[in-house]
Amino acid sequence: MLNARVYDVATESALEPARHLSRRLHNKVLLKREDQQAVFSFKLRGAYNKMAHLSAEQLKNGVICASAGNHAQGVALGAGKRGTRAVIVMPVTTPQVKVEAVRALGGEVVLHGDSYSDAHAHAVTLEKKLGLTFVHPFDDPLVIAGQGTIAMEMLRQHQGPLDAVFVAIGGGGLISGVANYIKAVRPEIKVIGVQMNDSDAMIQSVRSRKVVTLSDVGLFSDGTAVKRVGEETFRVARGLVDDWITVDTDAVCAAIKDIFVDTRSIVEPAGALAVAAIKQYVALHKPRGQTYAAILCGANMNFDRLRFVAERAEVGEEREALFAVTLPEERGSFKRFLEAIGNLPGGPRNVTEFNYRMSDATRAHVFLGLTTHGKGESGKIAARFIRQGFEALDLTHDDLAQEHIRHMVGGPSPLSRDERLLRFVFPERPGALTKFLSLMRPGWNISLFHYRNQGADYGRILVGIQVPDKDHKAFERFLQELGYPHVEETHNPAYRLFLRN
């Protein structure tokens, strides 16, 4: 490991304190910034170390690898540095940002299979067919040694107390290299392995005392979506890793946000596993004043995943609670419910989501999102709604509600006669919706309401209001007095197709 040749392509990445997170957890958290490497991942270390040890004849023929993306970029970059051909087999599920990055580095991309294991099997076939040298992403002593230079740097950068290092695990190359070095130099430091709860091949293998193959893996953390770990990485990790933690999607999304708050950088899910595990470890063991290090192992994130991450981060920290609330279809019930929200214990809450579509003559079902002041509040809020006469169901941890129902507003309603549909821009301040309801005529009924917090100082709201023909002039006066920017969508073809009866 001390002789690993990685610095032709890699830099000694920074080891930075996560100041905000450290204050919150009452423990010092250090971030090893492998997300700042040339390919935004640690993988170039091991890949290049392997290629640096190839013979001239092997380099002349070229190399091949299988990868979900980050190792692929490391191989492509290293191959360019060594002047050799690189064929990269990637799962079809690989984020496009990684595919394009590999091509930009000169790699020849072959897309095959749904997971790393599928891509690996195809790469082995091509290796023999094309006479290439296989560069394994994790199960190779030279690759492991290259990854271990991260630990060498960390212990040089931080020579004070270090209680534990948290390391994400896919196939096990990173944790094998890190554990090898740490246990040889400072064995008192704990090495803690982290996997997704739906991609925990290493943990299951350690528990079974043999390498097991998962039938399926979750793909949210595509950088660690490995069905089968390596024989060598299993041997090393089983003997040297002190503890294991699994984390879920919501916890990882919350960790991505925590890292952004401290660094203003956005890591990929695999890159946030270690931070998610530190938070979970502290919540379970309640230590104080300890020092933990997390390896931010990658930052190859597709931009279009950020909306999902942002939404699930709030749930992961329980900064947002979701509810299904039933209101009686009677005059004033909507306003009474808003007053109930405004009078919740602990002070005002921001509404993050409010979806309603008229469907029943006697009652209405509202999908509601609210900010919270801390964990464990959602059940208490639901109970308070019930005490105030509203049926309420806590949906905060319901995946169906999180992934689908919150984005739906129902379909056509036979009750929505005389409906006019308008898009409004509301100021994001307390009382904006109450002003809207107070200026409405008592005889006008809200038949549809859809609002999602956009994180700005204004909110975009879609409202259906039942206005009889004889009240159209009065309705125009109402809009003028309200003064909120709006666009009428009553004749929008999409509205007429999906929401108009």
Q: Where are the alpha helices (DSSP H) in 388-500?
A: 399-403, 432-439, 472-482, 493-498
Q: Does domain 318-498 have CATH number 3.40.1390.20?
A: no
Q: Where are the domains of the chain?
A: 15-40+141-305, 45-134, 318-498
Question: What per-residue confidence (pLDDT) applies to 357?
Answer: 82
Q: Tokens 């039933």 appear where?
A: 326
176 band by pLDDT with thresholds 50, 70 and 90: very high
Q: What is the pTM of this model?
A: 0.79
Nearest 10 degrees: Cα torsion 269, 271, 275, 280? 40
The token pair at 89 is: 């087999």
The domain at 15-40+141-305 falls in which architecture? 3-Layer(aba) Sandwich (3.40)
The answer to whether 240 touches 186, Cβ cutoff 8 Å, is no
d(CA 268, CA 27): 24
What is the per-residue pLDDT across 375-406, written as a single tens digit (0 to 9) for each? 889 999 999 999 998 999 998 888 777 777 77
Nearest 10 degrees: Cα torsion 460, 462, 463, 468? 120
The answer to whether 209 touches 256, Cβ cutoff 8 Å, is no
Q: How far is CA 446 from the centre of its chain?
A: 35
What is the per-residue pLDDT across 233-249, written as a single tens digit (0 to 9) for each? 999 999 999 999 999 99
d(CA 132, CA 79): 12
The answer to whether 117 touches 228, Cβ cutoff 8 Å, is yes
The token pair at 275 is: 């931070």
462 band by pLDDT with thresholds 50, 70 and 90: confident
The residue-averaged pLDDT of 205-217 equals 93
d(CA 387, CA 384): 5
d(CA 208, CA 206): 5
Q: What is the mean pLDDT of the chain?
A: 90
d(CA 314, CA 118): 34
d(CA 90, CA 69): 7
Query: Residue 217 gets which letter from DSSP?
Result: -
Question: What per-residue confidence (pLDDT) applies to 427?
Answer: 75
Instruction: Among 121-130, 180-189, 191-200, 486-495, name the one with the lowest average pLDDT.
Output: 486-495
Q: What is the CATH number of domain 45-134?
A: 3.40.50.1100
What is the per-residue pLDDT across 438-459, written as a single tens digit (0 to 9) for each? 888 888 988 888 887 666 566 7
- Amino acid identity, residue 130? L
Does position 353 have pLDDT exceeding 90, yes or no?
no
Could you tell me whether strands 419-427 and 458-466 are parallel, antiparallel, or unpaired per DSSP bridges? antiparallel
Report the run of H or E that residue 257 belongs to, with start and end: helix 249-263
d(CA 290, CA 26): 8
Q: Which comes out higher in pLDDT, residue 161 or 433? A: 161
Query: Residue 132 gets which letter from DSSP?
Result: P
Question: What per-residue confidence (pLDDT) applies to 4?
Answer: 66
Same fold, 15-40+141-305 and 318-498: no
